């Protein structure tokens, strides 16, 4: 897929402007009625999510005529919207990833965009409104960390990034696993040096892409959470696959996703969290 540099620049500028106008002014200033719940009591949506998604969707179709837009909040209102990811070109939008953090005054949230073609992620961006910087990747062109002044750093996992479990640090969305699988997973997490969850895929993937942590594990495959981060990690030299070994795609609905900084680290995580039968 050809994504012209001019279109990319316009989309980045739009993300920064909309975050400055719709998200940051509401951070720690949400009023009564500005926060609602969705699927469960800790699954939140705010007026900032809805307004940012609305404006990002409007801008996207002017910058990329004919693009389908799949936004997290649109899908929460109509699940069939997600089906558009199977179309030729689709922009996937998470207007505020880490809404629970945002709504509770924690400066740990971001904006995630990805562009897919025929069900394959081709471009992704994870933006931090607080720092006004982003990680970004285009398939086959590597990954970059970009600061607000335009300074860029190429992201590439080092040759010495391989870990044994007892030295590995990662993010595991253990609270999203259920029943016996959850109990088995908890019994295996002590194999690692440290596991956390930031309640924000944006910052988890940013830290992975920069080589600060070694892996991420999640059982929920919402494409707005993972498509950009998986591509960025892969373009930095990492691996994004389901536990079954299938490469990650934004069209997938079920599976256990492991994203790691190397093939060896992916296998190390898979071995640590599974039993003799290869399942969690």
CA distance readout (Å), 50 to 55, 63, 89, 152: 9, 20, 23, 31
Residue 120's contacts (CB-CB under 8 Å, 6 or more residues apart) are 139, 249, 250
- Domain boundary, last residue among 130, 155, 180: 155
State how far Cα 99 lies from the chain centre: 13
In CATH, what number is assigned to the domain containing residue 63?
3.30.540.10
Tell whether 132 and 97 lie within a shared domain.
yes
User: In this structure, are residues 261 and 168 in contact, taking their beta carbons and an 8 Å threshold?
Assistant: no
- The pLDDT value given to residue 68: 95
Tell whether 45 and 141 lie within a shared domain.
yes
pLDDT in tens, 229-267: 999 999 999 999 999 999 999 999 999 999 999 999 999
- The pLDDT value given to residue 39: 81
Take residue 135 and report the two structure tokens written for it: 């990680």
Tell whether 127 and 9 lie within a shared domain.
yes
- The pLDDT value given to residue 159: 81
How many Cα atoms sit within 13 Å of 22 on the Cβ side? 21
Q: What is the mean pLDDT of each run of 10 residues along the chain (280 residues)?
A: 85 98 98 90 93 98 95 96 91 98 98 96 98 98 97 94 96 96 97 97 98 98 98 98 97 97 98 95
Tell whether 61 and 175 lie within a shared domain.
no
- The pLDDT value given to residue 43: 86
- The pLDDT value given to residue 55: 98
- The pLDDT value given to residue 2: 64
Q: Is residue 132 part of a domain?
A: yes
**How far apart, in whole angstroms, are the C-alpha atoms of residue 179 and residue 114?**
32
**How far apart, in whole angstroms, are the C-alpha atoms of residue 211 and residue 258?**
16
Tell whether 148 and 171 lie within a shared domain.
no
**How far apart, in whole angstroms, are the C-alpha atoms of residue 174 and residue 177?**
5
**How far apart, in whole angstroms, are the C-alpha atoms of residue 159 and residue 237?**
10
How many Cα atoms sit within 13 Å of 41 on the Cβ side? 0
Q: Measuring CA to CA, which residue among 160, 183, 202, 198 is closest to residue 280?
A: 183
Tell whether 257 and 184 lie within a shared domain.
yes
**How far apart, in whole angstroms, are the C-alpha atoms of residue 185 and residue 202?**
23
| Structural domain that includes position 144 | 5-155
- The pLDDT value given to residue 87: 79
What's the total number of domains in the chain?
2
**pTM, two decimal places:** 0.97
pLDDT in tens, 97-118: 999 999 999 999 999 999 999 9
């Amino acid at each position: 897929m050809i994504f012209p540099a001019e279109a990319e620049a316009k989309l980045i500028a739009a993300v920064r402007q909309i975050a400055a106008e719709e998200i940051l002014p509401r951070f720690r200033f949400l009023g009564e009625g500005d926060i609602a719940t969705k699927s469960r009591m800790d699954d939140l949506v705010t007026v900032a999510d809805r307004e940012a998604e609305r404006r990002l969707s409007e801008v996207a179709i002017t910058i990329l005529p004919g693009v389908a837009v799949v936004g997290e909040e649109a899908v929460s209102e109509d699940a069939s919207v997600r089906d558009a990811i199977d179309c030729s070109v689709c922009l996937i939008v998470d207007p505020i990833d880490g809404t629970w953090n945002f709504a509770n005054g924690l400066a740990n949230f971001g904006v995630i965009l990805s562009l897919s073609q025929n069900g394959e992620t081709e471009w992704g961006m994870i933006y931090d409104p607080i720092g006004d910087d982003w990680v970004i990747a285009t398939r086959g062109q590597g990954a970059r960390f970009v600061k607000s002044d335009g300074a860029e750093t190429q992201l590439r996992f080092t040759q010495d990034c391989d870990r044994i479990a007892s030295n590995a640090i990662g993010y595991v969305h253990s609270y999203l696993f259920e029943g016996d699988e959850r109990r088995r997973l908890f019994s295996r997490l002590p194999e690692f040096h440290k596991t956390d969850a930031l309640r924000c895929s944006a910052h988890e993937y940013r830290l992975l892409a920069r080589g600060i942590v070694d892996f991420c594990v999640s059982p929920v495959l919402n494409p707005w959470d993972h498509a950009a981060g998986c591509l960025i990690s892969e373009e930095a030299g990492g691996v994004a696959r389901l536990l079954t070994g299938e490469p990650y795609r934004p069209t997938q609905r079920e599976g256990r996703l492991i994203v790691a900084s190397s093939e060896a680290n992916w296998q190390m995580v898979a071995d640590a969290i599974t039993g003799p039968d290869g399942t969690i």
